[in-house]
Amino acid sequence: MKRIQLLLCAFVAMFMLSVNSAWAGSAYVKVTAENGTVSWIEIKGTIKGTNFEIGNSTYSSAIDKNTKGSIDLNEVWSLNGGKGIHYQVTSIGYWADAFYYCSGLTSIIIPNSVTHIGTYAFEGCSGLTSIVIPNSVTYIGGGAFSFCSGLTSIVVESGNSYYDSRNNCNAIIETASNDLRRGCKNTMIPSSVTRIGSEAFCGCSGLTSVDIPSSVTCIGVSAFHNCSSLTSIVIPSSVTSIETGAFTGCSSLISINLPSSITSIQYQSFYNCSGLTSIVIPSSVTSIGEGAFSGCSGLTSITSYITEVFETGRFAFSGCNNAVLYVPDGLVSTYRSTKDWNCINKIEEIPGIALAMSCNNKGKVQVNGSIEFTNDLGQVNVKDGVENTFAFQPNDNCELRQVLIDGLDVTVSVENNQLTTKVHEGSKMIVMFDKTSSDVNGDGQVDISDVVRLVNIILGQ
């Protein structure tokens, strides 16, 4: 009897273990065709109790690749027709184990039980036009939506760390250096991103503009390779490195300003950007790789603020035959004798520009240590695109009240009556001085009469 009891206990234990352990299996998922017809098809995965992980590492698609219509992952059941055990989908596998090149899918409903979307999970799903990712998702693999050529909208529910929204066109990006999805026309990258990974938007031919947040420090290898429709991109001052081939083949890119944080422009970073007409290279750059601007046949202006001139990589400016290289004062001969800068035929000093200024005659402005401006309205010559220093010198019993540049109040940036900032051609500066706040009675002097006047104001007299 005791032996039978022991065998029974062992059987129960084995049964319980099998229930709680994971095993490869299949279930049935609800599919709705475009005409409204509902069917149930087999979906492969790993079953853990009542949880279902799509994909089972067999390198075969989770569903029949010929499936057409919309899949609802809220409806996954053990038996055909939505019967038996209801499974809760917790993750979507990677690559060929998931929905890789299931081009007939038109939409997919992802339940808020899903936390993981694997690498290349939906790559090549060209029929997908939009997708909503619940805020339960904590991981989106590299290339998860790559080459989804019909995708115009990825919406991430508010609360997700990958949330972003701009023109109903969202971008999902990892903080790791992996591939990302392609196909969105206007992309604002969320501020959780620290690195735009290798081939992030590679081949994203519909992409026209990108705003990169100040959290990003690196633009990875071939990140925007062959984004042939990209016309503009904003690179923040947080970025220190533009890696190999980052913008290769961006033939519609017209101009780009590199922030003063950039120290390295690597191999073929802007190779064959034939639409690029101007480039400004900050003084922070210490290396320019081989072929960095090679094939940029549309370049007419290259402005370099580098004062410690170094040899660039070979063919860095090959094919830039129409460009004029503008360099800091006194360095023309240095650039002309330094490889590979000397392959540019025309090298000239950076020209000055006229800055329109207005000052209200209660003080003067010293520009770059030499020019003193005191007129109500006039112009001064400054350097374009580099930091110029403005020293504000109020008259006796006056103080600086406000400084505006192109309508923007920059007074808070003034320290010890001095402002160092960049200005560009066409900029306008307005400087306003006024009597000191201690000159209460406005007689131009600060004395006991001001104290008397202040007391009378307080007493209401």
- Contact 250/230 with Cβ under 8 angstroms? yes
Residue ranges per structural domain of the chain = 17-151, 352-435
- Contact 131/159 with Cβ under 8 angstroms? no
Under CATH, which architecture does the 17-151 domain have? Alpha-Beta Horseshoe (3.80)
Helix (H, G, I), strand (E, B) or coil at 388: strand
Strands 278-281 and 255-257: parallel
What is the C-alpha to C-alpha distance for residues 193 and 140, in angstroms, rounded to an integer? 13
- Contact 84/75 with Cβ under 8 angstroms? no
Averaged pLDDT in 10-residue chunks for the chain of 461 residues: 48 42 82 93 93 80 89 95 95 85 91 86 82 75 68 52 30 34 46 62 71 79 83 83 90 82 91 90 91 94 90 93 89 94 91 82 83 80 78 89 90 90 84 72 55 50 55
Strand runs labelled E in 229-270: 232-234, 241-242, 255-257, 264-265
* Residue 333 DSSP code: H
What is the structure's pLDDT at 179? 34
What is the C-alpha to C-alpha distance for residues 459 and 20, in angstroms, rounded to an integer? 83
Alpha helices in 306-362 (DSSP H): 332-336
DSSP string over 437-454: TT-TT-SS--SHHHHHHH
Closest by CA to 45, choosing from 112, 104, 121, is: 121
What is the C-alpha to C-alpha distance for residues 289 and 295, in angstroms, rounded to an integer? 14
What is the structure's pLDDT at 186? 47
Which token pair is 58? 């067999």
